[in-house]
Structure 1
């Protein structure tokens, strides 16, 4: 059997349209799957790859037991390539893309499609993007390149223009909560809280739960409170977290700062992301200087842009500075 992946319910209409295109022989050679992280784009791409490579697909779904499906299940299918950074947070390099040239213009070993999944596409450096552009301009026969992008604005316009763009919708809140309840076996209240923390991205919520990231977030939130109560220093918290994913850590702090702004401007009616931290957020909102708060938000956003563009900052210094500025909000 192929490894289990599923089309999330809120992407089912997108799936049906693509399968209809395939049935009619109108499937393009390149797709750009766009949307916020955690909306099901990667699973969608894998399902489509499986359907195209399967020798006996049934209603647009891989059969799960042919030779091709067995190769997919063991991650050894010769006609499927996953292109991703060699290290988390790093760039996709030009040599990785150049290695695709022969693959894309050779005959498929199983006699069907050749499929490439690039994830995330915005992690390609400039040289890698230019190298891929040549493949997009001159694709081989029965070839599909799928670019998965959380931030399509970071891609070269010439790359975007050569792909059929598919935008993944966010599910309605109640549907996402019900899906999480079924998927993770949580209560509705717990599922709703987890979804809020994950910025309404259901698969990101699943990742938080299954990879223990909720515990990491709890450590961060406790650390932020301890700094304000002088139970810990910014340097101690930075030292504790500096080996973690900086985009994840700074994203959580950013959401905290935005929640504080919401509480300052909308008070009781504010809809906040970090519902489990409302007591702390309300206390900071009453004391924090508005100007200092917005300055910190701008500074943090600039740091996050640098991280997204794969700059290589001093991790300890970045976090020390952030947590010292956090401490300064209520002094």
Structure 2
């Protein structure tokens, strides 16, 4: 379970929910949504701890009651986290059925029962339909929090039964200060990493602490190699087989946005600094129609990955890279 923490840019969301709770207007189902990598899971966990606390102090759990002690060791019996069995896999109907026993039981600590479903968009159709019944009649003092980066992928009938909690991106200054302090970086480097990760602080920390930087480097090099015909489309596609393709396509889409920006404004101050020279060169040789066509293809392929359709990685990458190679011809 994510560490309970409410980051500064989500503080107003916390105040809003705590006020709903104090005035007895808190709905039984919330859908916590916003950009990937901004701390939504941390936020939901922190609010769950607040609801379960037996003696909250203002908008904060007391930290010393039995409920807080249990939460501190991820052992509270009235807090249920529902996630896919494996990363990238769907939440299945059997998992929702197992949740039924928890929903129908009495709270062991005599207060709230809280369910966190993360990510809500991972539920397959059968699982989502099974959850609908719980959302309609969840029982007394029960709160379900559904977390998603992709609100559009959540079934409309699920969304209609939840109150939305929109989590904003922080300002660039707030995000830069946060990342610089967390990673002991100067402001320029923190800003550079944030721009690669679309301004999302937690995604930036994950980027720095994982192998994503290596894959990012391979993406930039592969795209350049295809343009300069140093490697074939097939060779580059083969080299990317083990990559997180959704992540790679997201980066490519951001690069296409930069190309469009440079084309429209003739401004070479691009956000994707690690690919600056290549993107400027492409912007000078291409036309808007080709950029928009490739951007549309990238989004279509990303959608197929998000919907977990049976996608042939090699063929997907070859389609993208062939279109990329044609963008300057």
| Unmatched tracts of structure 2, length 5 or more | none
1:16 aligns with 2:15: yes
- Determine the structure 2 residue equivalent to 1:264: 263
* TM-score, reference length from structure 2: 0.93
Q: Which secondary structure state, in structure 2, belongs to the residue aligned with residue 22 of structure 1?
A: helix
**TM-score after normalising by structure 1:** 0.92
Instruction: Please report how far the alpha carbon of residue 26 of structure 1 lies from its aligned counterpart in structure 2 after TM superposition.
Output: 2.6
1:287 matched to 2:285? The reply is: yes
Asked if residue 235 in structure 1 is aligned to residue 234 in structure 2, the reply is yes
Q: In the alignment, is residue 169 of structure 1 matched against residue 197 of structure 2?
A: no
Shift of 1:290: 3.7
> Which runs of 4 or more aligned residues in structure 1 lie more than 4 Å from their structure 2 counterparts after TM superposition?
none
Distance, in Å, in 1 between the alignment partners of 2:42 and 2:119 is 13
How many pairs are equivalent? 329
Trace 1:307-322 onto structure 2 (pairs within 5 A).
307-322=305-320
| Residue equivalent to 1:253 | 252
Please, which runs of 5 or more residues in structure 1 have no aligned partner? none
Question: Is this contact kept in 2: 1:37–1:204, CA < 8 A?
Answer: yes
Query: Residue 81 of structure 2 aligns to a residue in which SS?
Result: strand
Over residues 142-162 of structure 1, what are the superposed CA-to-partner deviations in whole Å (9 max), with x where a residue is unaligned?
Answer: 111001122222222322222
What is the Cα-based RMSD across aligned positions, in Å? 2.0
Measure the CA separation in 2 of the matches of 1:287 and 1:232.
20
Aligned to 1:106: 105
Inter-partner Cα distance in structure 2 for 1:3 and 1:252: 25
Q: 1:50 to 1:271 in 2, by over 3 A?
A: farther
Give the match's secondary structure for 1:28: coil
Could you tell me which of 300, 303, 306 is aligned with 2:301?
303
Partner residue, 2:92: 93
| Pairwise CA distance, 1:249 | 0.9
Deviates more, 1:185-194 or 1:209-218: 209-218
Match of 1:274? 272
Contact 2:114 2:142 in 1 (8 A): yes
2 CA distance for matches of 1:251 and 1:4? 26
Could you tell me which residue of structure 2 aligns to residue 184 of structure 1? 183
